[in-house]
Amino acid sequence: MIKHKPFLRWFLFAMLTSVGIFFVGREGFFETLLERDFTNLSFVILVLFGWVSAVMGLRIRKVGAWVKTRNGVYDRKGNLVDPVEVKEFSTIAWFVAALSMKIGMTGTVWGFIAALIGFMGIDINDPVAAQSGMSHMISGVMAALYTTFVGLVCSLFIVIQAYHLDFSIREKK
């Protein structure tokens, strides 16, 4: 039997995610995000994702070291384990996944409001003013779409990790 199997599964997921982040970053996604997302909510979501992922790895590593016996579940030091402690972080991870979605949707609304504000008081017959308003609208829509995208992707990846932690705990019980 493979030792630390839950952690190795999480590590594989984390490495694949890191490779994806590397290639997306190499294509200039983060520079574009910094330039286009004036709300900066995408970076809040990315920081939450990084924090949850790191702590998730530590929790899954802890679960992987558990040993199941007839008398209960023990950690590698021989102490009886209370799965509720680790399960509590799973609840936090599920909350952060939902929060990431909500922050992304907040950025969407903020971006669309900013896009519509760009058209207030513009004389449509003036081509220079209309072009300026259109540029402002596109900026708001870009911010809206970027925050939505980052919120959705990070939420999805947090949910996958939270499900994996829950599965690993059930597997050891």
Q: pLDDT tens, 67-113? A: 777 777 777 777 777 777 777 888 999 999 999 999 999 999 999 99
How many angstroms separate the CA atoms of 90 and 84, rounded? 10
DSSP code for 40: -
Is the separation of the CB atoms in 164 and 14 below 8 Å?
Answer: no
Q: What is the pLDDT at residue 65?
A: 76
How many angstroms separate the CA atoms of 37 and 43, rounded? 9
Q: What is the pLDDT at residue 52?
A: 94
What is the percent of the chain with per-residue pLDDT over 70, rounded to a whole number? 97
Instruction: Calculate helix-pair angle for 5-26, 29-36, nearest 10 degrees.
Output: 70
Pick the range with the lowest mean pLDDT from 5-19, 65-79, 134-148: 65-79
Amino acid at the residue 22? F
Q: What is the pLDDT at residue 121?
A: 72
How many angstroms separate the CA atoms of 129 and 93, rounded? 47
32-54: average pLDDT? 93
How many angstroms separate the CA atoms of 143 and 42, rounded? 9
pLDDT digits (tens, 9 = 90+) for 48-74: 999 999 999 988 888 877 777 777 777
Q: What is the pLDDT at residue 114?
A: 87
Q: What is the pLDDT at residue 1?
A: 55
Q: Does the structure show a pLDDT above 70 at 2?
A: no
DSSP code for 78: S
